[in-house]
Structure formats: structure tokens, C-alpha cells
């Protein structure tokens, strides 16, 4: 790889070929440039399937795939792609295959303009955790650039109603990196993305392209998943207590996999969808999770065998066991206990007469603790379940929480004495978004979004500039309700005023999906999609 040079297409030779003898372009010797670590070509179905695409980076250490397909080398963005200020939100480059025996030329493959997330010196052999981290840090700087560009385009003194509304920047490259991280740590477990967490069609489209399944809990979520073009077998209707009409709909569209945890549900399924493939959801200890689910769902271990026997008597097909340790789980040992319980239920099901083939380990995965949880879960699964048992999971916030950044405008300010030091000034800031909007995660998901200054109109170097001593603020939403508070107290640099912008990271989970129109404020805010990874860009045709 270190001997490969790159070329950029010219007007006269838009698809300049690489000369394998020299590692340069025929007729156009360009300077040697290092390859990108974040690499993925979107191949035709004749080349590889979506599952192979998600692990293609692991094959970069060998000279060619087993099928004989050659490497594909991305053109460097440094010469092709101008600075962000010169760009629209999307642009494209090409991927050129190395020439050689059995090679084929592909048409153009679109990349997002942030394809230069990370350059490496020397050959690429894997997509390691250090590379993921560095790429993610670089991507944050790029997201901040997009936020600032969009915010500075708004003139609050002359814009039309709503033009200064809050908006998102969504980095699909971050979702892609999370998928790579998943494959490195839990390669045996197939993700079924929890649609409820963030049903953004662009996220669902990427999930489908990555080969993931979908965890759905309603007709609308099933509809959204099917709209990506996937086969219904890639959906699990993971709602133990289902609406009858939704069950009939699932039967009509061929969504067979579904969960249950009680006898009444079995009778309902027998009458409505007797060909369904059922997963018995068992109770788990989720006492340390952010959002507990065991209070509402899950059959106790004492009830597992009677339910399996009833399903057998009703001639219903039980194919697996599922559990969920709670959204935002904090105790990794909960996974270990749940896996051992699931093993017991598998054994009971075999004694009753069922042939189980799938374990669903649910969700609960978080950004900060993922590797720790994955280590315990992966070892437990390998210990208690042989390789022929399929294992799936239902991650949601894990994939999208860090991919979305929200910017909100300061619409008003009040001066008040600092509650902790009356001799100092403090301020109440009012934003055009709050807990009835995209900050619904404060109420429903127990989150604490942290404000950061995006723009501050105070002149640099003045006492009120964003580089001066920090000032105490409380931050409020736009509605008339007193509970609409985002931060009760926070210290920020500089004196913020009406028209300035704040931004909030990690706003991709349980935010936009649970926003309301209370007080007449919008629940439909602009999302600017970017990609800091060439893999995601190729799959999404950015």
C-alpha cells in the first residue's frame, strides 16, 4: 500500500487509470499521497454483500479478496475537495480500482466532503480503536465548522419567522464508526437497530446498507423499516404486548419475528398470526439502568416453563429468548445474569419440544462503557451458547447519541444577581428550543445536555468576549411552562446576548423523536447531514 500513488481525474481523463507497474497514473505522474483509514467502496451485489462491506477494512492487509476482486483506492480529498467555505453540503469524488488480472472498473462512487478524516503513514491493516477515536475527534471539529457556517448565515434582525429555529448537524460517519466499533467488539452479535431511539430516515437508510436489522414496536416503525427496502426477515416486532390490528399488519407484510411475555399474548397471536416466530422475553435486573423496563415487560423465571408449555399446546413456534437490561444500563453484570437465565430457558424449551435457534440480548449499550459491557457480554454468550445459535441485539442510543449536535438560538436574556454571589451579575438565557422540543431527553431519558458557546457577538478582547472570565447563566426553553429549563446553572465564557448561538453535543437519542408542539412551537427542525467517513458516504451516495 505504501507504494501506491493517487491521481485526481482531469477534464480530459476523468477516469485516469493506475499503472500497477509504477503505482502512478498512466500519462499523469502525481505525487504520492497516503491512503485513508476510513475506507469503503460501494461495490455491486456481484462483488460483495452488505455484511462483507461492513468488515471490508479488515481485508486491507492482503493483496486481494478471495474472490479475486482487487483493492479499490480512494482518491485523496486534499487535492480534490476545497475548503468547507467553498462547498455545498454535499460533493463527490471517485474510487479507482487498481488494474490487474481479474479487475473491474466501477462507476463513480460518491463520498461526503469530509473524506479526509484521518490519514495514516504506511500500510493499513485494521480499523483499530485508536483510529476510531482520532477520527471521531477530527469529525467533531468538522461538525463545529458546519454549525458555525449555518448559524452565521442567519440574520436574526431581518430573517423570516422561524429561520433562526434550532437545527441539527448529523454526522453519518459517526454512526458508521460506531458500527465498526461494534464489529470489533461484538462481531458475533448482529445489531437490530432500535427504531424508537431515532427514526430519522437517513439513519435507517444507513442501517439497512450496513446490513443491520430493525427492532420495531409499532406499525409505523415497521413501515419506516420496510421503506428502506429490506426484507421483512430483518425486522423483529419487539413489543411483548401488541395491538391486534398491528399484528394483522405484521402478518400481511411478513414480519414474523416477535416477542411475548404472557399467556394472553399467546392466545392473541394464535388467533391473529399463528405462523409467527416467537421469542420469550424474560425478566432481568435493570435496577441500575437509566430507563427501567422490567417493571413493564418480561416473564419471571417461574413463569417461563408454563408459557413455553402453553405455546407448545397452541402449536405456536417459539424460536428464541430475549431480554433487555434497560436503556442506558450501568451494571455490566446484569448481562451476565441475563445470559445465564436465557440458557436455562433454552434448556427448558428443548425439554418441552421447541427448537430454539436465536438469543436476543436486547439493548442498554452506552458510548462510555461499551467496551467493558461488550467484553462481559461477548464472553458470556460464547460460554453459554454454541456457535450455531444466532445472537442478535437491539442497540439504539449506542449508534446515534453522539452523531447529532443541536444548535439553538438565544431569543431573550434577563439580568439577575448571581444566586451564590449577589455582588456578581448572572443571566437567564431563553432559547428557541426546550424540554417540550428536542430537549425532551431531559424529561424522558434522564439526560443533562451541556451548553457550549457556538457564536458570541461580543468583540474579541473586550471584557464581554467569549475568551474572558466565565459568567453564570441559567438556560430556559421558549414555552410558558416553568419546568421548561435546560440548565439551572452553568458557567460560560463571555457575555451572551440575544442572537447568539449555543450548541449541545450527543443529542441523537430520544430527542427529536419525542418532541412536541406545545405552545405552538415546531417539532420539525432542520437536519444537516454530513459524513466524516468515506464508508458511510459511499453507502449513502453522498
DSSP state of 510: S
Distance CA 224, CA 215 (A): 11
Q: Which of 197, 216, 456, 480 does the annotation list as catalytic? A: 480
pLDDT for residue 24: 35
447: number of CA atoms within 13 Å, CB side? 26
pLDDT for residue 496: 94
Q: Which of 353, 372, 452, 370 is nearest to 143 (CA)?
A: 452
pLDDT at 451 over 80: yes
pLDDT at 258 over 90: yes
Give the CATH number of domain 404-530: 2.40.37.10
Q: Which of 160, 92, 196, 157 is nearest to 531 (CA)?
A: 92
- Please give the class, per CATH, of domain 172-399: alpha beta
Average pLDDT, the chain: 76
Q: Which of 340, 349, 294 is nearest to 320 (CA)?
A: 349
pLDDT for residue 118: 29
- Using an 8 Å Cβ cutoff, are 390 and 358 in contact? yes
Does residue 266 sit in helix, strand or coil?
A: helix
- Using an 8 Å Cβ cutoff, are 282 and 342 in contact? yes
The helix or strand, by DSSP H or E, that contains position 476, with its residue range, turns out to be strand 470-476
Distance CA 31, CA 22 (A): 12
Those residues whose C-beta lies under 8 Å from the C-beta of residue 389, and which sit 6 or more positions away, are 346, 356, 357, 358, 359
pLDDT for residue 133: 72
Q: Outline which parts of the chain fall under CATH 2.40.37.10.
A: 404-530
Q: Which of 224, 166, 163, 173 is nearest to 37 (CA)?
A: 173
* 492-542 tens-digit pLDDT: 998 999 999 999 999 999 988 878 888 878 888 999 999 999 999 999 999
Q: Which of 243-257, 300-314, 425-439 has the lowest mean pLDDT?
A: 425-439
The helix or strand, by DSSP H or E, that contains position 321, with its residue range, turns out to be strand 317-322
Does residue 415 sit in helix, strand or coil?
A: strand
pLDDT at 76 over 90: no
Pairing of β 404-418 and β 167-171: antiparallel
User: What are 473's strand-pairing partners?
Assistant: 427, 490
Those residues whose C-beta lies under 8 Å from the C-beta of residue 368, and which sit 6 or more positions away, are none
Q: Which of 156-165, 381-390, 442-451, 512-521 has the lowest mean pLDDT?
A: 512-521
| Cβ neighbourhood burial of 463 (10 Å; 0-12, 13-18, 19+) | exposed
The rounded Cα 198 to chain-centroid distance in angstroms is: 8
Instruction: Please tell me which residue, 131 or 148, carries the higher pLDDT value.
Output: 148
How many Cβ atoms are within 10 Å of 318's Cβ, its own excluded? 23
Calculate the alpha carbon distances from 127 to 5, 94, 114, 118, 335 in Å.
Answer: 21, 22, 18, 11, 27
541: left (phi > 0), else alpha (psi -120 to 50), else beta? left
pLDDT for residue 14: 33
* 82-101 tens-digit pLDDT: 333 333 333 222 222 222 33
Of the pLDDT bands very low, low, confident and very high (cuts 50, 70, 90), residue 460 is low
Residue 159 a catalytic site member: no
Instruction: Please tell me which residue, 484 or 136, carries the higher pLDDT value.
Output: 484
Q: Outline which parts of the chain fall under CATH 3.20.20.10.
A: 172-399
pLDDT for residue 519: 85
pLDDT for residue 461: 52
pLDDT at 278 over 90: yes
Distance CA 512, CA 527 (A): 10
pLDDT at 462 over 60: no
- Using an 8 Å Cβ cutoff, are 39 and 122 in contact? no
Amino acid at each position: 500500500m505504501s507504494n501506491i500513488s493517487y491521481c485526481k481525474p482531469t477534464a480530459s481523463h476523468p477516469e485516469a487509470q493506475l499503472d500497477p507497474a509504477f503505482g502512478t497514473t498512466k500519462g499523469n505522474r502525481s505525487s504520492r499521497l497516503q491512503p485513508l483509514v476510513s475506507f469503503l467502496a460501494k461495490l455491486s451485489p456481484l462483488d460483495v454483500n452488505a455484511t462483507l462491506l461492513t468488515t471490508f477494512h479488515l481485508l486491507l492487509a492482503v493483496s486481494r479478496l478471495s474472490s479475486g476482486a482487487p483493492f479499490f483506492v480512494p482518491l485523496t480529498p486534499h487535492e480534490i475537495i476545497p475548503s468547507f467555505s467553498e462547498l455545498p453540503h454535499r460533493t463527490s469524488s471517485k474510487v479507482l480500482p487498481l488494474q490487474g488480472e481479474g479487475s473491474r472498473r466501477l462507476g463513480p462512487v460518491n463520498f461526503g466532503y469530509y473524506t479526509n478524516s484521518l490519514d495514516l503513514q504506511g500500510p493499513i491493516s485494521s480499523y483499530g480503536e485508536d483510529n476510531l477515536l482520532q477520527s471521531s475527534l477530527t469529525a467533531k471539529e468538522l461538525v463545529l465548522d458546519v454549525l458555525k457556517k449555518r448559524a452565521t448565515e442567519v440574520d436574526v434582525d431581518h430573517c423570516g419567522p422561524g429561520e433562526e429555529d434550532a437545527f441539527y448537524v448529523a454526522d453519518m460517519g459517526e454512526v458508521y464508526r460506531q458500527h465498526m466499533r461494534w464489529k470489533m467488539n461484538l462481531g458475533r452479535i448482529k445489531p437490530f437497530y432500535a427504531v424508537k431511539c431515532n427514526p430519522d430516515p437517513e439513519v435507517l437508510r444507513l442501517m439497512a446498507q450496513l446490513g443491520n436489522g430493525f427492532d420495531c414496536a409499532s406499525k409505523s416503525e415497521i413501515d419506516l423499516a420496510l421503506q428502506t427496502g429490506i426484507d421483512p426477515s430483518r425486522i423483529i416486532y419487539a413489543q411483548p404486548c401488541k395491538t391486534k390490528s398491528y399484528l394483522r399488519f405484521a402478518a400481511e407484510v411478513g414480519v414474523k419475528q416477535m416477542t411475548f411475555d404472557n399467556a394472553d399474548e399467546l392466545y392473541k397471536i394464535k388467533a391473529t398470526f399463528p405462523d409467527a416466530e416467537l421469542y420469550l422475553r424474560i425478566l432481568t435486573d435493570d435496577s441500575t439502568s437509566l430507563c427501567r423496563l422490567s417493571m413493564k415487560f418480561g416473564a419471571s423465571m417461574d413463569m417461563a416453563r408454563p408459557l413455553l408449555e402453553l405455546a407448545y399446546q397452541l402449536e405456536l413456534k417459539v424460536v428464541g429468548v430475549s431480554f433487555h437490561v434497560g436503556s442506558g444500563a450501568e451494571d455490566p453484570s446484569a448481562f451476565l445474569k441475563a445470559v445465564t437465565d436465557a440458557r436455562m430457558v433454552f434448556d427448558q424449551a428443548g425439554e418441552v419440544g421447541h427448537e430454539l435457534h436465536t438469543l436476543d440480548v436486547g439493548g442498554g449499550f452506552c458510548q462510555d462503557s461499551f467496551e467493558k459491557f461488550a467484553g462481559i457480554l461477548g464472553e458470556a454468550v460464547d460460554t453459554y451458547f454454541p456457535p450455531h445459535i444466532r445472537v442478535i441485539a437491539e442497540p439504539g442510543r449506542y449508534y446515534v447519541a453522539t452523531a447529532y449536535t443541536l444548535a439553538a438560538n438565544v431569543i431573550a436574556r434577563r439580568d439577575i444577581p448571581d444566586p451564590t454571589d449577589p455582588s456578581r451579575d448572572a443571566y437567564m438565557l431563553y432559547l428557541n428550543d426546550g424540554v417540550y422540543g428536542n430537549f425532551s431527553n431531559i424529561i424522558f431519558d434522564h439526560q443533562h445536555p451541556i451548553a457550549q458557546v457556538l457564536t458570541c457577538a461580543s468583540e474579541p478582547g473586550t471584557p464581554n468576549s467569549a475568551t474572558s472570565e466565565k459568567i453564570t447563566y441559567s438556560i430556559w426553553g421558549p414555552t410558558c411552562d416553568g419546568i421548561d429549563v435546560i440548565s439551572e446553572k452553568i458557567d460560560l465564557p463571555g457575555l451572551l446576548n440575544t442572537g447568539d448561538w449555543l450548541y449541545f453535543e450527543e443529542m441523537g437519542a430520544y430527542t427529536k423523536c419525542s418532541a412536541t408542539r406545545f405552545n405552538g412551537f415546531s417539532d420539525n427542525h432542520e437536519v444537516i447531514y454530513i459524513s466524516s467517513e468515506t464508508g458511510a458516504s459511499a453507502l449513502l451516495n453522498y
